[in-house]
Amino acid sequence: MSDSNTTDGTVSDSDRPKGTVERIIGSIALLKESPVGMVGLVLVCIFAFVAVFAPFLAPYRYDDFMQPFAPPFTVTADGDLMLLGADHKGRDILSRLIYGTQRVVFYATLATGTAYIAGILMGLAAGYFRGWVDEVLSFLANVILSFPVMVLFVLIISTAGASGFTIVFAVVFASAPGIMRIVRGLTLDIATRDYIAAAQTRGESPWFIMLVELLPNARGPLIVDACLRMGYTTITIGALGFLGLGLPPPFPDWGGMINETRALLLGDIWWMSIFPALAVSLLVLGFNLLADGLREVSLRD
């Protein structure tokens, strides 16, 4: 795998934009060989599509109060079809799931993306400069990683209050150290290669070397990890909503939908909590299958 990476790097140097696009198409074509990965990709794409076009896809608004406790396939007096039923306040579950998709995909992407930027910068610095930079960053990472994640989230959010910002902050805070460790390990390995020594001899600046020469060659394991982490962040956002620490209502959030209505489940009013539970599981399944497929393909490479 490392050999193909080095040749990739030299080819794309001459013609970077086209090379990048071709490489992405190439890797999707490779993914075709893994049926598991394809299922994951399709699932993730469906959810991404729903998230982007939520306002057009949802039959009603997420805060339209229509017919409380309507079971699935109910047609209301006004002739509106509620495919997945309505919740205890009479809001259409399907519409709330669709808007909830938008919210969870948005926050999961934002949080994971920010965590990646922070983790990559820290990991590159630790692995490239080594010495005291590495010592300090690694100790910080150890301290943060020694907290059980959910305990850390509860502590941060109960101190700072629940909002989109604190949730993103908490996820970045908790997952950047893990990303840093991976990037650090990859950097320590790649920094010994000849092309890095060549770049140093050319007199390129450390950050240019790290970001342009080093990082692109570490992308393989990072992409797989990013997929897994997207899944995990989705779970986290859902779990926070479930614990009542999620984003404030009325905007729907899968975990919050389950939490609000799970007491009714004991009275066999199942559709209010089971559908969000299935939605979150399907999205996470998509990310996990995609990650597995990508790993399989990259190993075969």
Can you tell me the distance from the alpha carbon of 82 to that of 77, in angstroms, rounded to the nearest whole number? 11
Closest to 121 (Cα-Cα) out of 111, 132, 133: 133
Nearest residue (CB) to another protein, 51 versus 290:
290
Question: Running DSSP on this structure, what letter comes out for residue 62?
Answer: T
Q: Work out how close the CB of 36 gets to another protein at its nearest, in angstroms, rounded to a whole number.
A: 7
Residue 256 three-state SS = helix
Give the contacts of 60 (CB within 8 A, at least 6 positions apart): 66, 80, 91, 92, 95
Judged by beta carbon, residue 191 or residue 280, the one nearer another protein is 280
Which residues of this chain interact with another protein, rule CB under 8 A?
36, 142-143, 145-151, 154-155, 158-159, 231, 235, 238-239, 242-244, 255, 258, 262, 265-266, 268, 270, 273-274, 276-278, 280-281, 284-285, 287-289, 292
Report, in this order, helix, strand and coil percent for the chain, each rounded to 5.
Answer: 75, 0, 20
Residue number, 214 or 269, with CB nearest to another protein = 269
State the minimum distance, in angstroms, from the CB of residue 261 to another protein. Answer: 9
For residue 159, give both structure tokens.
């101190």
How near is the Cβ of 212 to another protein at its closest, in Å?
A: 33
The least CB distance from residue 264 to another protein, in Å, is 11
- 3-class state of residue 74 by DSSP: strand
> What whole-number distance in Å separates Cα of residue 123 and Cα of residue 136?
12
From the CB of 32, what's the least distance to another protein, in Å? 18
Least distance in angstroms from the C-beta of 260 to another protein: 12
Nearest to 141 by CA among 155, 157, 127: 127
Q: Using CA atoms of 266, 267, 273, 275 in order, give the dihedral in degrees to the nearest 10.
A: 120
Nearer to another protein by Cβ, of 211 and 274: the residue is 274
- Exposure string for 73-90, b = 16+ CB within 10 A, e = fewer: ebeeeeebebebbbbeee
Taking the least distance from each CB to another protein, the nearer of 215 and 227 is 227
- Residue nearer to another protein on the CB measure, 191 or 279: 279
Shortest Cβ 224–another protein spacing (Å):
13
Nearer to another protein, 122 or 284 (CB): 284
- As given in the structure block, the two tokens for residue 170 are 């908490």
